[in-house]
Amino acid sequence: MWIGKPGKLTDNIDFIGTDQNCLYLIRGRETMIFGGGMSYIAPSLESQFAAMELDTEEIKYLVIPHSHFDHCGAVPYLKRKFPWMQILASSYAKEVYTKEKAVNFIATINKEMIDGLGLQDEYEKLDLKFDGIQVDQVVIENDVINLGDGIEVQFIEVPGHTKCSIAVYVPKLKAIFPSDAAPCPTVDGSKLTYPTPQYNFPLYLESLKKIAAYDVEVCGFDHHGAFVGTDARNILQQGLERTVEFENYVIEQYQQIGNLEEVAQKLTHEMFEGSSLDFLGMEGGLNIVRTVIRKILDLPG
């Protein structure tokens, strides 16, 4: 079953944020937030936290799955709200957040979304400024965080979408959170979007094969919701098949059209048919698709 709107997934997992920008609460005696979202989702988070039976002092960790602007923009707000919370990320993501140019870019994109949605009052009231991230703990492959009550969170390195991508798996709950290491659902959950190997296509395939082998009852994506039950068990294998099909499709289109820009335009329009990722915009989507095509075809640029 696909769950496209925030709410409770299981007794130990809550889907929070928005349908486009999904975060997850993983609960044991302590609680972990998986995902850093964008700052514009803060008003939704405020309402969700207020409605929950949750001791916020139990929120001990936040995992940044990778350093892209749409997966970390709300982190400074959340850190100010829960100052005792530890920020976890890969070593390369930590390095990214030391670079002024990267921090300024993330801040700009997040503020543009705030302004576009008319959330200037919320920006001031909730202190949504993106002013950098201090990573408290670097996590690597096979690291484990024990949340208590048998809820252990295992970290998986899944490079390919980015160099710094990480996923987590919770064995007791058979729950996996792949972020963008796998194709996410379309806006209606009916199929999967195109894969986005923006760093390295062979590594993306290798990472996807790795996480597709896990025993899964819950699969929570960072965009367009989560799957539970039988659909969750199959979704990452379907993502792997979708990725191989997409590789062949890109090669075929490039052979037929012979022009990278024309192929990118065509694929971008196809991608947006099943997506509601408003924060990307057509130009942002086009930039991603250009990069993905280059990675698949091993072209320079």
Per-residue pLDDT tens listing for the chain (301 residues): 999 999 999 999 999 999 999 999 999 999 999 999 999 999 999 999 999 988 999 999 999 999 999 999 999 999 999 999 999 999 999 999 999 999 999 999 999 999 999 999 999 999 999 999 999 999 999 999 999 999 999 999 999 999 999 999 999 999 999 999 999 999 999 999 999 999 999 999 999 999 999 999 999 999 999 999 999 999 999 999 999 999 999 999 999 999 999 999 999 888 777 665 667 777 788 889 999 999 999 888 7
Whether 158 and 287 share a structural domain: no
Whether 224 and 249 share a structural domain: no
Tokens at residue 68, please?
């892209």
Give me the CATH number covering residue 232.
3.60.15.10
Pairing of strands 59-63, 31-34: parallel
Whether 8 and 114 share a structural domain: yes
Give how many domains the chain has, as a whole number: 2
- 99 is in which domain, residue-wise? 2-240
In DSSP notation, 100-163 reads HHHHHHHHHHHHHHHHHTT-HHHHHHTT---------EE--TT-EEE-STT-EEEEEE-TTSST
Whether 172 and 236 share a structural domain: yes
- Looking at 201, 222, 240, the residue that finishes a domain is 240
Whether 287 and 158 share a structural domain: no
DSSP character at residue 85: P
Burial track 113-142 (b if 16+ CB lie within 10 A, e otherwise): bbeeeebeebbeebebbbeebebeeebeee
Whether 170 and 219 share a structural domain: yes
Instruction: Report pLDDT digits (tens) over 24-49.
Output: 999 999 999 999 999 999 999 999 99
Burial track 246-270 (b if 16+ CB lie within 10 A, e otherwise): bbeebeebbeeeeebeebbbebbee
Whether 247 and 231 share a structural domain: no
pTM of the model as a whole: 0.96
Whether 231 and 271 share a structural domain: no
For the chain, give the number of residues: 301
Whether 235 and 246 share a structural domain: no
Whether 216 and 158 share a structural domain: yes
Tokens at residue 100, please?
């002024």
Distance of alpha carbon 299 from alpha carbon 59, whole angstroms: 44
Instruction: Report pLDDT digits (tens) over 89-113.
Output: 999 999 999 999 999 999 999 999 9
- Looking at 240, 255, 281, the residue that finishes a domain is 240
Whether 101 and 169 share a structural domain: yes
Distance of alpha carbon 255 from alpha carbon 273, whole angstroms: 24
Whether 155 and 43 share a structural domain: yes
